[in-house]
Every structure is written in structure tokens, then in C-alpha cells.
Structure 1
Amino acid sequence: YDAKVKSILNATQPGERVCELTGEKWVMDEEEIGWYKKFNVPPSKRSPLTRMKNICGFFVMYQFWYQTHPETGKKFITVVHPASGFKALPDPEWFGNDYSSVTRDIDLEVPGLDMILSLQKEIPFPGTKFLKEPINSISLASLGDVNSYFVMACRSRNAFYSADALDIEDVAEVSMSTQVKESYHVVQSHRIYKSNFILESRDCITSSFLFDCHNCEFCFGATNKRNRKYLWFNEQLSKEEWERRMADVNLSSSSKLEDYRRRFHDLMVEQAIWPDNFGEKCTNVIGNHVNNATDCSYVFNGLDGPFRDLHYCTYCYGNSYDCVFVGAPVSANTCYYTNTPVNASRVKFSHFTPDCQNVEYSSYCFNCENCFGCVGLRYKKFYIFNKEYSEEVYWNKLDEVKCAMLDRGEYGEMLPLSFAPTYLPDGGGPMVYMMKNEELEKLGGTIYPPDSEGASGVIGDVGEMKTVDDVPDRIDDMGDDWAGIPIYDPEYKRRFAYVKPELGFYRKLRIAAPRTHFVKRVLNLIMEQGSAIFFETTCGKCKTSVITTKHKDYPSRTIYCRTCYLHYLEQHG
């Protein structure tokens, strides 16, 4: 294999390329060729954007489905959609099993991806992906949830409908945020208390409708403000006048709440200034929402760091470095064209490989080393297609398999989306890269109705089904008898129901009950942070060139370079 790929790389020259799937043109430069040489892989035939769409198409984002237990017949909640063709088990059962007995013999005449897919269809997925067992909660990928409903990848208490949020309490609809309490609808914000509809803000209390505000309180409608009080849609008021206007505010009415949301959107369009990167402590970085990073390019959502030498990466965490084309590297290093390597090193073309080293074309393997084409293994070494070999035999067999896959044109691209166990239209492709169903299908994905094969379960008595138009305008007109009643969302084409504690939360915060399916609400919440699609534009002030990311809700927003943005804050913040 080494000789074959060396010959290919020696013949590779910089220049324009055309994506084999989309027809998109891009320039393969010396830096990109250097990555191929570093990872000892053939050049990709797909554009960088197509590669990232493939990788992030595996992201769950926010999904809850019912699966039927293969033995007991009981329903349980999982990220694995039953129509995906893949099975799942609750985590305790999955981790109590050993799937190394499910193997495939090497057959160089059979495509390697076909053999891996056959393993993945036979071996179930761990259905809940708990990192810490939740308490009295409906949650997936829990980091430690208590008394929470439908939260994903959270550490929460008394929370509803939230994703990727830490240390949140008494909240609903929170995403990509930390330390949020007694608040509603918060995105990409930190240390928020008793506030609603907050985006890209820090250290704010008792406020609503804020964008890019720091250390503000008693504000209602504000953009790009620092250390301010008593603002009313960016108008400075006295304490008395602000309180007089606030006395007339009624967010517990759905119709009036929507009026304020529209007014805030208009304020954002007319007055908000967006920096090219909502990040801090960055040196030589092209990215957005990236913190504590050095020498990185095209990175989206680098939450904590430190990050070093990351290129084309999204949703990065921990001490991650030397990764190229990676989705969700978590304290990972030296990984290439792969998704969710957690505490992992030297992983390629794989999906979810916690604590693995030198693993390729594998999925849901834990604490494995020197494995190729494996599924569902734990604490294993020298396995190919789930079959164990001696160390000497392993390296010889591995070389044969990689040569055969390289000759067929298989080796060198990420697992296709036919390997994804989730409902792709609600996954990372559309949410992070604004993909359409046609693009998902080009990458191997299958589109099916979300409710197929009982994935949404049964909510109450179908004969009592109501529509969102039946929901009272005012939360005060909704008693606990509304809990559990199935409501049809015609736009999302799915049913949902309120739960009793949720209605109590809305009454406490004086917020109108939302009229959209909770999954759609959280997906919209996630998209409020913008996409990971980078593009070049000019600073709205000095006209210098900047690189930033597209935003579905604000496609024509005013973007400033870092220098002009900071100067604007000094003058107007």
C-alpha cells in the first residue's frame, strides 16, 4: 500500500479540481497535498465542502426515536431511527455484550465497504450514548441530567428541549451555552440568568431579546451592547420609563410574543454588527465560534480548546490538534476525514471511536488499537472486519485489504451516509451545512418519512388530536389538562404533546406555550448560530477581505473585520 500511495502522491500536482459528486470546483494547493502526504492517503476526489457535508451528515444534532427491543418487544428511546436499517440496544445491555464473535472473513473480491456495512447491520448500536447516567430524565448522550425532558448532550437540571449545553437549570430551549438558569431560548451564550431570547451574549440578567451583549441587565431588545441597563430596542431609557414600558409587555400571549420576535429580527437586520468570528484568544485562525486556537483554518464551533493545527473541523472540544477534515474531535489528535474521535489518535474514515488509536473505517469501537473495518468492538487489537489476527499476520492482511480497496477506488473517502443510523434530514448535514435531501442522497443517504416504522411512538388518544391552531393564545388559559394531548404540527408533519412540568415552567416565566414540534424548535435553535459554510466577503466598514460563515436567517447581515468590530463596540457598545 505504501508504495502504491507514494506513487499516486508523487504524481499529484496543485491545480483546479472538480468534485466528482457535485461538480464544484476547488483549487488543490500544496498545503492540501501536504495533508495527504502526512496521513499517507490518496487525494480526495471530492471538494472540501462535500467532504465536510459527508462527515457532519453523521451528526445526530437532536433526535429522539422509538425502537423496539429485539427480545422483549418493549419500546425504548434512542438516536437510531428504526427505518435506517440498523438496530439498537439500551446502553447497559450493549456494553454487557461482546460483538467480537460477529466477524467477516477477508475476501479481496468483495468491496470492503460492503463487508463493513453488513457488520453494522448485524451488530446493534448503543442506543442512548450516555457518558453519565441521567437521573429521572428523558435524555440522550447525557453528561449528567437530573429531572430533565428531551435533552441531548447536556449536563442539566429541570431542563426542557435543549442540546449541547452544560450547567443549565430551570430552562427550556438552550443550545451551545453554559451556566444558564431560569431562562428561555438561549443560543451560543454563557452565564445567563432570568433572560429570554438571547443570542451570542455573556453575563446578562433579567433581559430579553439580546444579541452580542455582555454584562447587561434590565434590557429589552439590544444589539452589540456592553455594561448597559434600561435599553429598549437600543434606545436608552431612564429606569422609570423602562419599567413603565415593561409593565405593558406580555410574552405570555403567543400573538404578542411573535410580534416582539419579529420586531427583534428587524432590529437585528437594521442595526446589528457581526464580527467575522465570534471567538476569543485566537492566533492565525480562520473560523467562527472558535476560542483558544492557534494556526487553524475553516474551523466552526471550537468551544474551549486549546486547539492547534485544526483544518476543516467542526464542533471541536478539549485539547485537539493535528486534525484535518474531522467532525467533533474531542481531545483528539492526528485524525483525518473522520467523525467524533473522542480521546482518540490516528483515526481515519471512521464514525464514533472513543479512546481508539490507529483505527480506520470503523464505527462504535471503544478502546481499540490497530483495527480496520470493525464495528462494535471494545478493548481489541489487531482486528480486521471484527476478526482477530496475530500482530504479524494483521499487518500483512491489512496491506492486502488496503491495496484492494485503493485499486477499486474505495480507499480514501469517508464512510458514505448509508452508514448513518439517524434520520438524515434532521442531522448535521442540513443543520450545519444547509444540505437538501438531494445532496444527502448523493452522499449515500436514504430519505424516509420520520414517523415510519413507529419511530414517533403513540401520543395519547388519536381521537383527541388537536392542531397547533387549537392551542390557546395565552398560557394562563392552558390548564394542566393540556398535558399529554396529541397536537399535530402541520409544517413539521409530526405530533407532539406538552408535559405537565413544561406547562408549569411557561407559567412561571410568563412565556406563551410554543406551537411548533419541540424537535423542530431545537433544530431552529441550533441553526440560529449560523452554518459552517465559509465564504469570503468584505468588511462593511473598511472593505478589507474577511472570511466568515453563512447564516440562513441573516444572509445579508453587516459583517465587520475584527479591528472595525472592536472600534464599533468602543463607540456604540
Structure 2
Amino acid sequence: MWIILQNMSKTPNYDKKIKTILDQLIPGERTCALTSETWNMTDEEIGWYKRFNVPPSKLHPRARLRLLLGFASGLVLWWKPHFKTGKPILSFVHPDSPFQVLPDKEWMSEDFLRQESSLDPIKPFFEQMLGLVHGVPVSACRDDGSNKDCIGVDYISSEDSYMVFSLCGAKRCFYPALALFSEDCVDVTNTKNSQRCYQTNRVNNMFRCAFSFECRDCINSSFLFDCRNCENCFGATNARNKKYVFFNQQLTREEYEKKISEIDLSCQSVLLKHQKKFQDLMKTAVWPENFNIGSSESSGEYLEESTRCKECYWHGKSTDMFHCWISEEHRDSAFVAWVGWGSDAYYTCDVVGGSQLRFCFRCWRCLNLEYCLDCYDCENCFACVGLRKKRFCIFNVQYSEEEYWQRVDELKCVMLERGEYGEYFSAAFSENGLEYSMGDAFFGYSEAELTRYQAPRFDPKRGAVIGPSGAIADLPSIDVKNIPDRLSEIDEKTFVGKPILDPILNRPFSVVSGEMAFYKNQKMAFPREHFLRRLKALIRTSNSPEPEVKPCANCQKETVSYRNPSFGERRVFCKDCYLRFLEENN
């Protein structure tokens, strides 16, 4: 049975108005106010609106989630002026953005409560809210204080790592993103419990593996797809418990070691040759209709040990979720992205350990918040920014409990009448900007889409971080054509710690000394691409949240699979045919 959230009984006037709207809802086709796409609003979807006591959004469910993921910080750092001193500091906020920043420790020591409210219920809400968020600084890198000697954004319990993005437990890593408890790795995304890996995505418990994705429990291998418990393999797809496989051919140990001894991946031309060969091999690989594991009564992609998660993407141990992207141990939520270890969230992004959150962003360990951003350990707040351990606040002003509920009731009524309540912040509220968000890393936004979302644009060259300090920014950039083919031929004084121009992005990057030591130790080629392009390419080897209906490539039964941005032409098997294929070929 759907249960109305407890706080709604304290807003009687709003409750009467929303009841009339919800009672009149009927299932049927709806048209997105943003994209003009149509979708079928079901009884189940209407049930979620009634559960959270909110009006239905005017946007297609997919448009809502793409907007939400545009708020999650992405894969870039900038030099941004300090809010008070003007001195350049590292931040995920672009230097031309109207959002202001403070170093993380300074931000945590500030109190952003205001003495008087300037919120006028008669005026448009979102215009006033945008003024508030531009007046309250952002924590520059979202370092929670648990890290040691790291540079990055939104990271926890990490050490001695460089350019880390949205992860936990990294040690001695360079350019990891969305990784957990991995060590001595370079260019890894969605990588868990792994060591000495390079260019991997969606892997778990790997050791000394490279150019691999959708794999688990493999050792000393390269160019793998959908492999489990493999060792000493080079070019393998859909393999289980294998050794000495070379481009899907079983060899003896002696034959395998001879072939490997003849391959030098520290040579760029050799690497490109084998990358092309692996791409050709992938044309013969079999993809399951989805990569779900141990999930029941659910639909979506990358669902692990989850129950009753409908139209969801990348969930771990989550329950009763509806149209949600990326959650860990979360439950009872709808239209949320980037959430974990909490419950009862609606149309919200980046929340951890909270409950009863609606239309919020980056609110951690909070209870019963609406339209709040960057709040921590707060309870019963409405339209607040940057608060910590506060209760009964509106627009960053403290109220008594009685006055708080009275004002919230009034605000929600006028917002509902204007069609504001029930919609999320526009892209102008995204602190990193949609074009530099995790949404961009996962699937990218077209120019038309950025315009529809009202997303500001910022020059990617302004304030770009090229190295650990800003000192090399004024040096002339090296043309990648001038980089020697073999790693052993590269003069570190000439190429390490110097700006190198990525010809595709037209943006400079650098290779730092610790990174160079990794390439020498692992015998990998010197990079020719900006790390942003490398990480995006890795992330996009994952299947997307976008479903597609197509026949099983083996039995022709209709299946629902999920589009892959990097592999358009795939052999997708239904679950039964996929399992039979694995059994017959392993």
C-alpha cells in the first residue's frame, strides 16, 4: 500500500490542492514538454506520484534522468578563483561559471545561514533560487577530509592518487573514475577491487589486466570481454576458466609465451594494430540481453542483487526503485540518479544516507528536504543551499517549527499553482555544467539537447588543468606526431610534465612522472590522447540505460537489450541462448 510521507499532513492547504490533481490522473499517453517524445503513463507511475504526494512532471522519464545525471560532477578540473581572495584554486566548477567556490576545509568551517529571507512567494521561485545558489559558495573539490595526497573531485578514503573522479579507496592511481578499492591503476572506470590494471571498464577483482571490460577474477591478461576466472589470456571473448588463449585460440603454455614475447605494447604502432584486431574479434563476441546478476522482478541493465527495480540502470542491492539510474543499497524511490544507502527519494540526484528527499541535489544524511542543494545532516528544510546540521530552514533562514510548516504550505501552494512545484531545477543550477558532467561522460549531450535544457556553455580551454601546477600552462604544446613510437625512445625531460596537444579535443594534457613510471613498469605505450577522451571512451564501452527491442541473434526471440555507444553492431543473445553458448564453448 502506498503511504503518504509523514510531513505532508503538516501542509493541509497543499494536500487539498494536490489531492484534486492526483485524483484526476488517468493512465495514457503523455508528451514531453522538452523533447516532444511520448510515453505511456501507467497506473504504476501514477502510484509513485501518489506515494510522494507530488504532481507528475511534464518531462519524459528519460529526459528527467538525463537532466539529473547532468548535475553529477564529471571528469574535469579547472583553475577557479577563490570566492574571497581571488587566488586560483582547483575546482570542478568552471572559472567562468557564476557559481563561487571555497577550498573544502574552508567551506566546511562556514555557516551560510542568513538573518532575513528575501524569498517572495509571489515572484517566480526558480529565478529567486538561482540567485541564492550563486550567492552561496560551493565546496571546490568535495574532499570530505578522509583523503591523503590526492587531486580530484568527489573522492573518499583515497591516497597518493592523481585526477580521481567519483570514487572510494583508490591508492596510487592515475585517472580512475567510478572506481572502488583499487590500487596502482591507470585509466580505469567502473573498476572494483583491482590492482595494476590499465584501460579497464566494468571489471572486478582483476590483477595486471589491460584493455578489458565486463570481466571478473582475471590475472595477467589483455584485450578481454565478458571473461571470468581467466589467466594469461590475450584477446578473449566470453571465456570462462581459461589459460593461454590468444585471440580466442587455445594454445599451449609454450606457444602462448612465445607469441606474447613477440608483442611490445609499449610501441604505439604495435598497440594500435592489436586494438584493431581486438575490435575485429568483438564482432564475433556474444552479448547477453543484459548483464543483470541475482535480481528478481526487475527490468533494466546492470542490476545486481536487486528486487522490484523497474526500468532501472546500474543498481546494487536496491529494492523497489522506479526509473532510477545508479544506486547502491537504496530503496523505495522514483526518478532518482546517483543515490545510495537511503530511501524514499523522488526526482533527486546525488544523495547518500538520507530519506524523504524531493527535488534535491547533493544532500547527504538528510531527512525530509525539498528543493535543497549541497546540504549535509539537515532535517526539515525547504529551498536551502550549503547548510549543515540545520532544521526548519527556508531559503537559508531559520524558523520555528510552527512557522516553518506554515510557510512551506504557502510556498508549495503558490508553486503548484504556477506549475513550478513538481519540476526539477533547470540545467543552469548544475554546478559543473551539463557539458562537463557525469551525464556527458556516460552518453553525451547534443547541442540541441543542451539548448533545450537551458544549459550554459563554457570555454573548455579557459582555466584548464594541464598538470599538478599551473606552471606549465604557458609552455608551447607538443604535437603528438612528434612523440616517438616506442616508449623506450621517449626522453622524459622533453615529454614528461610538458603540455601535449590532443588534436581531437584541441586541448593540452600532460603525463606526470608517476604515470610515466607505470607505463615503463607495465610496458604500455605513451598516451596520445587527453585523459578526458580516454576515460569517456572507456565508460562508453558499457551498455547505456537506453532500451532497444531486437531479435535474439540465435533463436530470433524478441528481447529487450540496452544500446551500447561503442559497439553498434552486436550479436545479442537471449538469456537461454547466451547460457547455452557459454556452456558449449567453455
TM-score, normalised on structure 2?
0.94
Summarize deviations over 1:306-340 as a string: whole Å, max 9, x none. x11111111211x2101111011111211111101
Q: Is the 8 A contact 1:91 1:130 kept in 2?
A: yes
Query: Following TM superposition, by how much is the alpha carbon of 1:554 offset from its aligned partner in structure 2, in angstroms?
Result: 0.8
- Structure 1 residue 295 corresponds to structure 2 residue 311: no
Specify every segment of 5 or more residues in structure 1 that has no aligned partner in the other structure, as ranges.
none
- Structure 1 residue 387 corresponds to structure 2 residue 397: yes
- Structure 1 residue 100 corresponds to structure 2 residue 113: yes
2:481 is matched with 469
Q: Is the 8 A contact 1:105 1:387 kept in 2?
A: no
Query: Following TM superposition, by how much is the alpha carbon of 1:175 offset from its aligned partner in structure 2, in angstroms?
Result: 1.0
Q: Is the 8 A contact 1:349 1:413 kept in 2?
A: yes
- Structure 1 residue 517 corresponds to structure 2 residue 530: yes
Identify if the C-alpha distance between structure 1 residues 251 and 335 changes in structure 2 by more than 3 Å, giving closer, same or farther.
Answer: same
Q: For 1:168, which of 176, 182, 193 is the aligned residue?
A: 182
Q: Is the 8 A contact 2:75 2:438 kept in 1?
A: no
1:235 is matched with 249
Q: Is the 8 A contact 2:499 2:510 kept in 1?
A: yes
1:245 is matched with 259
Q: Is the 8 A contact 2:359 2:370 kept in 1?
A: yes
Query: Following TM superposition, by how much is the alpha carbon of 1:88 offset from its aligned partner in structure 2, in angstroms?
Result: 1.1
Query: Following TM superposition, by how much is the alpha carbon of 1:479 offset from its aligned partner in structure 2, in angstroms?
Result: 2.8
2:217 is paired with a residue of what secondary structure? strand
Query: Following TM superposition, by how much is the alpha carbon of 1:222 offset from its aligned partner in structure 2, in angstroms?
Result: 0.4
Query: Following TM superposition, by how much is the alpha carbon of 1:46 offset from its aligned partner in structure 2, in angstroms?
Result: 1.0
Q: For 1:321, which of 317, 325, 331 is the aligned residue?
A: 331
Q: For 1:264, which of 263, 266, 278 is the aligned residue?
A: 278
Residue type of the alignment partner of 1:479: D
2:371 is matched with 361
Deviation larger for 455-464 or 551-560: 455-464
- Structure 1 residue 410 corresponds to structure 2 residue 420: yes
1:433-472 mapped onto 2 (5 Å cutoff): 433-452=443-462, 458=470, 460=472, 462-472=474-484
Identify if the C-alpha distance between structure 1 residues 141 and 454 changes in structure 2 by more than 3 Å, giving closer, same or farther.
Answer: closer
TM-score, normalised on structure 1?
0.96
**C-alpha separation between the residues in 1 aligned to 2:444 and 2:585?**
33
1:57-96 mapped onto 2 (5 Å cutoff): 57-96=70-109
Summarize deviations over 1:476-535 as a string: whole Å, max 9, x none. 111321222111112112111111111111011110011001122112222221322222
**C-alpha separation between the residues in 2 aligned to 1:196 and 1:364?**
37
Query: Following TM superposition, by how much is the alpha carbon of 1:10 offset from its aligned partner in structure 2, in angstroms?
Result: 1.3
1:116-135 mapped onto 2 (5 Å cutoff): 116-135=129-148
2:171 is paired with a residue of what secondary structure? strand
Q: Is the 8 A contact 2:331 2:343 kept in 1?
A: yes
- Identical positions, percent: 36
Query: Following TM superposition, by how much is the alpha carbon of 1:458 offset from its aligned partner in structure 2, in angstroms?
Result: 4.1
Q: For 2:571, which of 536, 558, 570 is the aligned residue?
A: 558
1:211-222 mapped onto 2 (5 Å cutoff): 211-222=225-236
- Structure 1 residue 571 corresponds to structure 2 residue 584: yes
2:321 is matched with 310
**C-alpha separation between the residues in 1 aligned to 2:354 and 2:153?**
22
1:340 is paired with a residue of what secondary structure? strand
Q: Is the 8 A contact 2:368 2:379 kept in 1?
A: yes
1:339 is paired with a residue of what secondary structure? strand
**C-alpha separation between the residues in 1 aligned to 2:146 and 2:534?**
26
Query: Following TM superposition, by how much is the alpha carbon of 1:109 offset from its aligned partner in structure 2, in angstroms?
Result: 1.6
Summarize deviations over 1:334-387 as a string: whole Å, max 9, x none. 111110121011111111100111111110011111111110011111111111
1:198 is matched with 212
1:283 is paired with a residue of what secondary structure? coil
Q: For 1:41, which of 34, 42, 54 is the aligned residue?
A: 54
**C-alpha separation between the residues in 2 aligned to 1:463 and 1:172?**
25
Residue type of the alignment partner of 2:187: E
Q: Is the 8 A contact 1:216 1:229 kept in 2?
A: yes
Deviation larger for 386-395 or 532-541: 532-541
Q: Is the 8 A contact 2:188 2:201 kept in 1?
A: yes
Deviation larger for 334-343 or 274-283: 274-283
Deviation larger for 459-468 or 292-301: 459-468
2:511 is paired with a residue of what secondary structure? coil
Identify if the C-alpha distance between structure 1 residues 428 and 438 changes in structure 2 by more than 3 Å, giving closer, same or farther.
Answer: farther
Query: Following TM superposition, by how much is the alpha carbon of 1:474 offset from its aligned partner in structure 2, in angstroms?
Result: 1.1
Query: Following TM superposition, by how much is the alpha carbon of 1:460 offset from its aligned partner in structure 2, in angstroms?
Result: 1.6
- Structure 1 residue 10 corresponds to structure 2 residue 23: yes
**C-alpha separation between the residues in 1 aligned to 2:391 and 2:77?**
33
Q: Is the 8 A contact 2:224 2:236 kept in 1?
A: yes
1:288 is paired with a residue of what secondary structure? strand
- Structure 1 residue 255 corresponds to structure 2 residue 269: yes
Q: Is the 8 A contact 2:183 2:194 kept in 1?
A: yes
**C-alpha separation between the residues in 1 aligned to 2:145 and 2:312?**
28
